[in-house]
Chains A and B, each alone.
Chain A
Amino acid sequence: MPAQKPRLAVWKFASCDGCQLTLLDCEDHLLAVAGAVDVAYFPEATRGEISGRYDVSLVEGSITTTHDAARIQDVRARSNILVTIGACATAGGIQALRNFANVKEYISIVYARPDYISTLATSTPIAAHVKVDYELRGCPIDKRQLIELISALLAGRKPVTPAHSVCLQCKLKGNVCVMVAHGKPCLGPVTHAGCGALCPSYDRGCYGCFGPKETPNTVSLSRQMAHLGMDEKNIKRVFSTFNVNAEEFRAERQRHDS
């Protein structure tokens, strides 16, 4: 009898579904992955469900309700390896902008009957609630990194996902620097690699969707952006997007909070 295949589960919390869709977007690898694991829980893709324990859980989305805060505890308890996929699960996502505002006001802007809505005042990453074994950055995550992660976990080795900056990826790609040569503000120097330096390859500055790299010098970058003519309000804005709740971006944002 063949050995039992590892059980994979995919979970969703507050999110846009884009990171789990990345798995379905691996058109060339999907059937190979599906052959190497038992897809035990992945409601976006299958009605079938195997209950019990999971070898690997991929978790998308942030925690924004008391129900989800309890659910992630259960997911952790039933998973050997828990991997957060994407900016929502890893940093809280764009919906973490509520952490800097009054959520009651947010509810009343969107909904006619605030009394029907039950939500937490904050959007928090999965790691704020349970132990996380690996994380994939990005809004959305990068396909190649996802396949690398799944292959590594199947082979029982550590995934290779470098923590250096988008800047380095740009240099490797041979891009002309959009900030130095064209004066466009760019978060590349402080942003975690993974996207393949997409924005600078399309003649625009990086907007930081992979979140802070290891030890980013955000203060120095803000100074450079100010030098290029960006005012305080706009410097605050560029750190206030999909990874606004990541520690280093949050701190830099606060430095420009007038």
Chain B
Amino acid sequence: MTRKTIKLDYLARVEGEGAFKVVVRDGTVKSAELRIFEPPRFFEAFLRGRSCLEVPDITARICGICPIAYQMGSVHAIEKILGIKVGGPLRELRRLIYCGEWIESHVLHIYMLHAPDFLGYDSAIHMAKDHGDIVKKGLELKKIGNEIMTILGGREIHPINVRVGGFYRVPARRELAPLADKLKWARDAAIDTVRLVSTFDFPDNQRDYEFVALRHPDEYPLNEGRLVSNKGMDIPIEDYDDTIEEVHVEHSTALHSHIRARGAYFTGPLARYSLNFDRLTPTAQQVAREAGLGETCNNPFKSIVVRAVEVVYACEEALRIVQAYEPPDRPFIDGPMRAGSGCHATEAPRGICYHRYTIDDSGSVTFARIAAPTSQNQPTIEKDLTSFVGDWLDLPDKELQHRCEQAIRNYDPCISCSAHFLRLDVDRGQG
């Protein structure tokens, strides 16, 4: 039996630290492990004993790239316990700030982390030397996502204005108004982005995934919806724990998720798009079709195109909200403390983000559980590698290594979130 090991010490352009190992024997992939050794920070433990009103400030710190996702999951779950229903302009403002995060996070991934793979550069900084206009446009687009976060949230990273029941302070019409022209530019820049990334050269790798995403009667999902899949799942969030289990494996400080009946599943832009194409705006649908995407997409390498389509959607949705905005009477809805349990899931840029809390009658947290999208996708990432690496074994070692990195980067893995360093280790079993 031939034996050979290919090693890469640090997978770059992902958020967090991990490692990877593929074992190949006689031309067949025997196993693939995504090792995550991001040091655990124990959020679910130290949330116990905190006031439920402090939770969104604390959970934001799980992730610097998608703090709104953690704030939205926790405020919605806690509001369910307290019997608070947030509607009208407050609900719209929450969609708006989430659109800001989608734009900022997706554009970061498209231009800074993912595009350099397709254009053959180590980073966007290196890419800027030859493609200055592309990188500048990306930065300008990302900045508009961050501006939404800053106006509504106070700052782009760990916003301070999200509160159980709404916001601490809501903007006046004139504060949001300047965003309208910027968002019109951003929508056009996002359309250009779809056109640009759709010309990249994609490996022809796809699998029959179980896509899992939220689905809402009228909207492309952000904060609300039932949990559905293309393999028959259609449940309220309250049934999440009965349907999906978390497993602790030795090679990861992020817990793996499995659908109890069927195993690994796929959450994030590809799943959201494939299950909710009909909820996109007509422009986003048209741009997707022109880019050669069907109503579903099973090639994870094309996730960069799907992310760009979602940026078009987020810009249009944000523009709609800004133009229709009338400030609410009060910045937040209040309610008396009461004991209970509640759960909620929202669509973070990287997929389903699930939260469950129990609080006592003084409003102190007695139990907290949070499932991050990347930890849910870990088994699927491993299966992608197991399935795809076989097709790539003719590639020279360096290219094979890079291709594996890309297969992981397709998921925009946020390892800091899920529990960081990806080390790639391909054991071909030769020499």
Q: Do A and B bind each other?
A: yes
Binding site for B on A (CB under 8 A): 12-22, 24-25, 27-28, 30-31, 34, 39, 42-49, 64-65, 68, 93-95, 97-98, 101, 103, 105-107, 109-113, 116-117, 119, 123, 139-140, 195, 198-199, 201-204, 207, 209, 234, 237, 241-242
Q: Does B62 contact A (CB under 8 A)?
A: yes
Contact, CB under 8 Å: B45 / A198? no
B104–chain A nearest beta-carbon distance, Å? 8
B399–chain A nearest beta-carbon distance, Å? 13
Which listed residue, B67, B125, B156, touches A25 by the CB 8 Å rule? B156
State which residues 42-86 of B face A: CB under 8 Å: 42-46, 48, 50-51, 54, 57-58, 61-65, 67
Contact, CB under 8 Å: B155 / A198? yes
Contact, CB under 8 Å: A106 / B46? yes
Contact, CB under 8 Å: A242 / B61? yes
Bound-state Cα–Cα, A20 to B136, Å: 20
Q: Does B161 contact A (CB under 8 A)?
A: yes
Bound-state Cα–Cα, A180 to B180, Å: 37
Indicate whether A140 sits within 8 Å of B157 (C-beta atoms), given known contacts A19-B64, A234-B51.
Answer: yes
Which listed residue, B40, B57, B161, touches A119 by the CB 8 Å rule? B40
Contact, CB under 8 Å: A119 / B39? yes
Which listed residue, A12, A28, A31, touches B420 by the CB 8 Å rule? A12
Contact, CB under 8 Å: A46 / B122? yes
How many residue pairs link A and B with beta carbons under 8 A? The number is: 190
Q: Which residues of A contact B140 (CB under 8 A)?
A: 27
Q: Which residues of B contact A111 (CB under 8 A)?
A: 40, 248, 253, 255
Bound-state Cα–Cα, A30 to B143, Å: 12
- Closest-by-CB residue of B relative to A112 is B248
Which listed residue, A31, A116, A198, A234, touches B160 by the CB 8 Å rule? A198
Q: Which residues of B contact A17 (CB under 8 A)?
A: 15-16, 63-65, 414, 416, 420
Q: 1/0 contact trace for B209-244 toward A, CB 8 Å? A: 000000000000000000000000000000000000
Q: Which residues of B contact A201 (CB under 8 A)?
A: 154
Contact, CB under 8 Å: B57 / A203? no
Contact, CB under 8 Å: A44 / B12? yes
Bound-state Cα–Cα, A24 to B108, Å: 8
Binding site for A on B (CB under 8 A): 10-17, 38-46, 48, 50-51, 54, 57-58, 61-65, 67, 108, 112-113, 116, 122-126, 128, 132, 135-136, 139-140, 142-143, 146, 154-158, 160-161, 163, 167-169, 247-250, 253, 255, 331, 405, 414, 416-417, 420-421
Contact, CB under 8 Å: A45 / B64? no
Indicate whether A18 sits within 8 Å of B128 (C-beta atoms), given known contacts A43-B12, A95-B41, A95-B42.
Answer: no
Bound-state Cα–Cα, A126 to B167, Å: 35
15 intermolecular pairs with C-beta atoms under 8 Å apart: A14-B39, A14-B41, A17-B15, A17-B64, A21-B108, A28-B143, A39-B123, A46-B122, A105-B45, A106-B45, A107-B42, A110-B40, A110-B45, A204-B161, A237-B54
Indicate whether A117 sits within 8 Å of B169 (C-beta atoms), given known contacts A16-B64, A109-B44.
Answer: no
Which listed residue, B46, B67, B125, touches A39 by the CB 8 Å rule? B125
B142–chain A nearest beta-carbon distance, Å? 6
Bound-state Cα–Cα, A31 to B125, Å: 7
13 other A-B residue contacts (CB within 8 Å) besides A95-B46, A101-B45:
A14-B38, A18-B158, A25-B156, A28-B139, A28-B143, A42-B123, A45-B123, A46-B126, A47-B122, A94-B61, A119-B40, A140-B158, A207-B57
Which listed residue, B38, B42, B155, touches A98 by the CB 8 Å rule? B42
Q: Which residues of A contact B139 (CB under 8 A)?
A: 27-28, 30-31
Indicate whether A21 sits within 8 Å of B122 (C-beta atoms), given known contacts A16-B61, A16-B63, A203-B331.
Answer: no
